[in-house]
Chains A and B, each alone.
Chain A
Amino acid sequence: MSRKISMKQAINEALDLEMSRDPTVILMGEDIVGGTGAPGEKDAWGGVLGVTKGLYGKHGDRLMDTPLSESAYIGAAIGAATCGLRPVAELMFIDFMGVCFDQIFNQAAKFRYMFGGKAETPVVIRGMVGAGFRAAAQHSQMLTPIFTHVPGLKVVCPSNAYDAKGLLIQSIRDNDPVIFCEHKALYGFEMDVPRESYAIPFGEANVLRDGDDVTLVSYGLTVHRAMAAAEILAQEKIEAEVIDLRTLSPIDRDTIIDSVERTGRLVVIDEAHPRCNIATDISAHVCQHAFGALKAGVQMVTAPHTPVPFSPVLEDLYIPSAEAIAAAARRTMGITAADQTVAA
């Protein structure tokens, strides 16, 4: 049975279900309970945006508030993971990776390989990604390509509540370290989500819309921009196929190649900065493995090579828009702005 819940509620539900199922699952992070040691209520916050609210009441001390000390507690989560626990550590804003990245990329990511396959590090690091919150340069970044670059890490970035629940359950059960990226602008986005537990396998993209003219590939918030672009294009008799990657490492390249072999045109949309990002990665792969199928050069629509600006008027320009995606799709069709003026 399903009902409409937000992505924030879906994440809460996934954590609750897994904590109930598996006593080795523990949660830690800054104010994930909120109010520890303070004179007022405990469970005052349930996370800075309330994602873990109410879990303390059900699972008690398996939720641990931490000092404001990411290096120590992210590292402790990783150490505990090698010793039989399945910690889910909240990094709050993914931007804070800067103060604890050693534990993520030099420790967790490398243990298995570096120790000859004898270590398992089943840790999940949840963090908010993405712009649109007027949160400025240090609380708004995507940064997914940095994690995707590192062998040993898995990287997940859901675009909706259904996927968030299933992918987080899979992340907790997974035996490798997972960076779970939650786009903060999607927390309030509601959809039908089953009450029961389910896991969505990694490396399986979701084709959200079928189309034969052009393939639009994205993840996270910009999936919704791509869907809006597809609606714009449909009015122009251009049918776009929209692929939601869901996981960036592993990445479902087969679904992309299959689609491009049919459409011959590819637009990759990425909220990350333009250099060495998910869009360039996919573009390179398609050029290497499906060049003959391409009828036009691959187009990329990304954030600019700038920090995220604060002023709303600038931030709105920063995030790839539906119109920019539609324009890129038109370019793959050989339709120029001049053509459109004539048509109008």
Chain B
Amino acid sequence: MLDNPFPLNKTDLLKAYRTMRTIREFEERLHVDFAKGDIPGFVHLYAGEEACATGIMMHLNDNDRIASTHRGHGHCIAKGVDVHEMMAEIYGRATGACRGKGGSMHIADLSKGMMGANGILGAGGPLACGAALAAKHRKDGGVGITFVGDGASNQGMFLESLNLAAVWNLPVVFVVENNGYAEATAMEWAVSCDSYIDRATGFGLPGVTVDGTDFFAVHEAAGEIIRRAREGGGPALLECKMARFYGHFEGDAQTYRAKGEIEDLRANRDCIKLMAARLKEAGLAAQEELDVIDQEVAALIEDAVRAAKAAPLPQPADLLQDVYVAY
């Protein structure tokens, strides 16, 4: 056995691997079941981007809040939202995380610090500032994290929140998940600056760019930024360069992508394969150990789908419930 070259022990490394595999299995399964017509509505898959959510969320606890995006399944799983409740929600069931009222784009679990996936791109910036403000008010060391894609990084709401966070010195981290596409439009065309570090600097906060397919790079960079925020050092921006394996939404023919692009991503920039190779190379995990995790994850997702399909539907009376606390 070689010395562990990573800042995480084997238990945590395998936990991270399991989280990434859970996200991948969850998304791959949705891809198949959506194509069969089992799932209503819009679904945006996080497959290929698992290292980002996992590497960041390893540093957080339930007291830390995240404001997610339309592509939120990975954030939910990494933040500890129950996979069965998530699947039931996506199937529109009464047992879902939001009792079937939210669906894929609005999964939330405030008890886990998950403030919601969000169908409005860029809306999480101000909300995470609010979470950070509440943590600062309570002096409990909590942080707020918001995720945006490269597309939503152009939204006024997001840009305003960078300024507000800097002015109020909030413990908030802005994560730009740059997968190269705003829906079908290229990031290179739609984002006017060459570097997100420049954009952060323009708002008076530090920016860091990492390879988002490298779990270890994300984990290290996020750790430093989050520690700094917790200690009162203020906000920061973290850009993770990602690889989106599927389309903007399920059903997207992706004709705007280059020929062979996705095959290349899957072969060479698959964050899970890359992590597994590093773990094996360091002698921290044998393929057999990873296979066991893969099998357990597959069984978990299979059970989540089975349970979701068998779960009760919302009742007609639920239509009118929970608009207000009291009205």
The one of B100, B101, B130 in contact with A76, judged by C-beta atoms closer than 8 angstroms, is B130
Type the 1/0 row for B132-150, where 1 means its CB is closer than 8 Å to any CB of A. Answer: 0111011000001000000
A78 at the interface (CB under 8 A from B): yes
Chain B residues closer than 8 Å to A239, beta-carbon distance? none
- Contact present for A112 and B130 (CB under 8 Å): no
Residue in A closest to B314 when the chains form the complex, CB atoms: A116
- Contact present for A76 and B321 (CB under 8 Å): no
- Contact present for A116 and B102 (CB under 8 Å): yes
The verdict on A74 contacting B126 (CB below 8 Å), with A79-B67, A112-B324 known, is yes
- Contact present for A118 and B127 (CB under 8 Å): no
The verdict on A112 contacting B322 (CB below 8 Å), with A75-B127, A85-B137, A106-B120 known, is yes
Kindly state the separation between the CA atoms of A130 and B85 in the bound complex, as whole angstroms.
46
A selection of 23 A-B contacts at a CB cut-off of 8 Å is A64-B168, A71-B126, A71-B161, A73-B126, A75-B129, A75-B161, A76-B127, A78-B130, A83-B135, A99-B156, A103-B126, A103-B157, A107-B118, A107-B127, A113-B101, A113-B322, A114-B101, A116-B97, A117-B321, A118-B111, A154-B327, A175-B325, A250-B327
Kindly state the separation between the CA atoms of A154 and B161 in the bound complex, as whole angstroms.
26
- Contact present for B130 and A82 (CB under 8 Å): yes
Chain A residues closer than 8 Å to B163, beta-carbon distance? 67, 69, 72
Kindly state the separation between the CA atoms of A111 and B102 in the bound complex, as whole angstroms.
9
Chain B residues closer than 8 Å to A176, beta-carbon distance? 324-327
- Contact present for B101 and A75 (CB under 8 Å): no
B70 at the interface (CB under 8 A from A): no
Residues of A within 8 A of B (CB): 24, 26, 64, 66-67, 69, 71-85, 87, 99, 102-103, 106-107, 111-120, 151-152, 154, 174-176, 203, 250
- Contact present for B156 and A71 (CB under 8 Å): yes
B204 CB to closest chain A CB (Å) equals 12
- Contact present for A118 and B110 (CB under 8 Å): yes
Kindly state the separation between the CA atoms of A26 and B133 in the bound complex, as whole angstroms.
10
- Contact present for B101 and A102 (CB under 8 Å): no
The verdict on A118 contacting B126 (CB below 8 Å), with A72-B161, A103-B157 known, is no
Residue in A closest to B146 when the chains form the complex, CB atoms: A79
- Contact present for A107 and B99 (CB under 8 Å): no
